Structure 1
Amino acid sequence: MMDVRPLRTEQDYEWALREVARYFESQPAPGSEDGDRFEVLATLLKDYEATHIPMPGADPVDVLHFAIESMGKTQAELSKLIGRNRASEILNRVRPLTLDMIRTISAEWKIPFEALAAPYDLARESA
């Protein structure tokens, strides 16, 4: 674990993301050397993100827009996960996210489940 270091720059952050990503395929056992390294890196990433990367409020649609605009995701990728018309309707606040959609997006895009499960308003239809 000697190569773990504080995350002070964007380059440090990118390095830590690459290191953590290696563990997603095969998560190390808690308490093992790799398990400890994974936990320390995850904590460092969380701290860096909390202080350097502005996240939208608790609105799941804003979180999805943030992912598309700032995390390199696309509406086309979202469409592949949940369906083309559904993605557009969700991003335009016409349709709510379902529990299955939330689980899928959270797992595939590595977005915390809680950020997608918060209540939010849909667009009001014209009367």
Structure 2
Amino acid sequence: MHIKPIKTEADHRAALARIDELWEAEPNTPEGDELEVLVTLVDAYEETHFPIDVPDPIEAIRFRMEQQGLEDKDLVAFLGQRSRVTEVMNRKRGLSITMIRKLHEGLKIPLECLVKEYQLVK
């Protein structure tokens, strides 16, 4: 096993190719250990070089609604009356702390998504 830090795009491609070769390696074997270390290195490299930005709150809510097959009317329990749901989803009204808590607890949307600032439409 010869493992080195991933510093360049070429190193990254080589590590991904090696991971592909080792993908079915048994745990607690030399190949399995190499796979585990390479995956950790690739993850660290990708987190630094290809960061994924947290979505804005409305996009996070829409994504969760799509995942769970929810409609706007299902958000009344979290946001209040139907007109408030419409205002929030159309970016005419911001989320309150109470709404954020309810969405986080009820729909399991990460807090870092819900508290991110976003542009309201005037």
- TM-score (normalizing by structure 2): 0.52
The 1-side partners of 2:116 and 2:54 are apart by 10
Contact 1:79 1:85 (8 Å CA) reproduced = no
Structure 2 residue runs of 5 or longer lacking an equivalent are 1-51
Provide the identity percentage.
34
The Cα shift of 1:106 comes to 0.5
Equivalence map 1:1-127=2 (5 Å): 57-83=54-80, 84-123=82-121, 125=122
Contact 1:56 1:63 (8 Å CA) reproduced = no
1:88/1:56 CA distance change after superposition, 3 Å: farther
> How well do the aligned residues superpose, as a CA RMSD in angstroms?
2.2
The 2-side partners of 1:70 and 1:100 are apart by 23
Aligned length: 71
Between Structure 1 and Structure 2, whose CA radius of gyration is higher? 2
